Amino acid sequence: MRELFKRWQVLLLLAVLAFSFVGLLLNGLDFGVEFNGGTIFQIQLDEKVSPDKMGTITKIIEARLNGIGLKDTKVVPFGDDLVSAQIAETDPKRIEQLETLLKTQGKFEATLDGGLLFEGSDIVQVIKDPGRGYGVHPSEGAKTYGWVMPFILNDKAAYNFSKKVFHRCTATGFDPKKGAQYDCDSTFFFIDRPEGAVIVMPESVYSDDVALLQAGNSLRSIPRGTSIELLLRNADVNYVFIDANGFSTEQLASLSGLSKTSKTAVVHDSVPESARAKLSEMGFKVTEAKEQDKGTPWIWTAVGARQVISITAGIANLDPYVEDPKDARIFSDLLIQGTGQTADEARADLKNLEVLLITGSLPIGIKNISKESVSPLLGREFLGNTFVIGIIALALVALVIFIRYRHPKVALPIMVTCLSEIVIILGFVAWSRFQLDLGSVTGILASVGTGVDHQIIIMDELLRRKSGEEENIADVSYSMRIKNAFFIIMAAAATAIVTMMPVFFGFSIGKLKGFALITVLGVLIGVLITRPAFSQYAEYMLRQEQKAGK
């Protein structure tokens, strides 16, 4: 037996097994949402994209999920218009927040009188320094929490901003204690503004929104006295009313004219299907905006508005006073503020906006999102069932092998080799921190099945030796038969690997990538490590039996 353990093939197997055991002991196994529980989002893009653009989209989505502190995230593209995002989170409220974040394209814009001041790509840094105001703070005299996010614009955007807000305040009086008093214009912040769109809503919704905007809403960063016409002008959208009977002749004529320049129609959820179909016939892409709550104007949500911030006299270069625009001070350090009902809500709003600005906007919009939740209890049941299925499969394989060869010296090593392959595969998974999903576990079972086939090929080739051959002829025969067996094995392994390549590189369903990766890994481990070691044992066993029979 010592002779067997001196062969390099056996030593390599033992070394790799030791390496795998160390990985399993140090790192353990990382299971996916199918086993640990979580949520799987299926994100459908507005249109089909190229592989390069899909890679960018995948990276942005992954960065957003990682940016808000999630762990065990897995983002995988499906074809050319679908992305799967798996997260280890099942809390309904948290899932709703994440769905809102994933739905958002993330195009941030600041406007003044409908003109662009700067956009998200102009922000070079989000300042996370509490000393400069960053963070969540209790609001004075109110049971709410405010949040502040300072940021820095690039030089070009800072120059453009400072020039456009120059002297955008009107003097209204003078206070001996406070100095000159000004009424300043307001800037509007948008995320995913439907630029150039047509807003379709009932006139009653418009009237309600006029009152809600005038009343203001501190939780939505809407100051008291906000004008709906100013909001629509900054959003750069047109609007058309609709009543219970659908569009009138005049409204259809107006829409027909707008369809020449506008491609999107944002409709209130009360707009009937017949009216939506009419809009589609006219060439509009119809999207629905839902009401958030009774205190939030529907139009605010429909145009993607996030904040209205009044310009200060200082930023307008009126305090201290600068007469010539050429001498205007350039402001690059600005901030965004908001309010939350609770500290957690304020923190979530701050973090979501921060992540959107840091990761940037998606190059294309999101059409829709569906989600599938897996509870931790169901996940553990999946894992237990998979383990039982694996044990049953190995037991059946052992029974078939024993029936075929009727000798423990053949059946037992084949099963030991199978278990060795499983340990080595899991060891590599542990070292690489690869997340095991259902497809991956299925790949382990598939590679073990392939390994049994290959070992049977080796044994059958070796057992073809005629008992009357001389010793030196037998030596040549064993060597040649192992070579013949490996010729068949290598051809079968190459076929298996080539078959898995389209699956792995995304020409099939994304969830099968784990299956393809583990199957290829198992085949490579088999042909490079375990099959050579098994062939050495099989040859050694037959030689020993031959010597014992003489």
Confidence at 177, pLDDT banded by 50, 70, 90: confident
pLDDT of 359: 86
Which residue ranges form the domains of the chain, and what is each CATH number? Answer: 4-32+375-549 (1.20.1640.10), 38-102 (3.30.70.3400), 106-341 (no CATH)
List CB contacts of 468: < 8 A, sequence separation 6 or more: none
Residue 239, pLDDT above cutoff 90: yes
Confidence at 507, pLDDT banded by 50, 70, 90: very low
Alpha carbons 125 and 109: distance in angstroms, whole number: 16
Of the candidate ranges 29-38, 163-172, 385-394, 470-479, the one whose mean pLDDT is the lowest: 470-479
Residue 470, pLDDT above cutoff 80: no
Averaged pLDDT for residues 382-395: 78
pLDDT of 10: 85
Q: Tell me the pLDDT tens digit for each residue of 109-161.
A: 999 998 999 999 999 999 999 998 999 998 877 788 999 999 999 999 999 99
Residue 2, pLDDT above cutoff 60: yes
Q: Tell me the pLDDT tens digit for each residue of 78-93.
A: 888 899 888 877 778 8
Residue 424, pLDDT above cutoff 80: yes
Residue 207, pLDDT above cutoff 90: yes
- Cβ pair 150, 133 in contact under 8 A: yes
Alpha carbons 427 and 97: distance in angstroms, whole number: 37
Residue 550, pLDDT above cutoff 60: no
- E strand or H helix at 138, and its extent? strand 135-138
Buried b (16+ CB within 10 A) or exposed e, 499-517: ebeebbebebebbbbbbbb
Alpha carbons 69 and 89: distance in angstroms, whole number: 11
Averaged pLDDT for residues 301-324: 92
Task: Please give the residue that has the higher pLDDT: either 33 or 428.
Answer: 428
Which bin fits 318, alpha (ψ -120 to 50), beta or left (φ > 0)? alpha
Q: Tell me the pLDDT tens digit for each residue of 284-296.
A: 999 999 888 888 9
Averaged pLDDT for residues 220-238: 93
Average pLDDT, the chain: 85
Q: 456, exposed or middle or buried, with CB in 10 Å at 0-12, 13-18, 19+?
A: middle
pLDDT of 510: 52
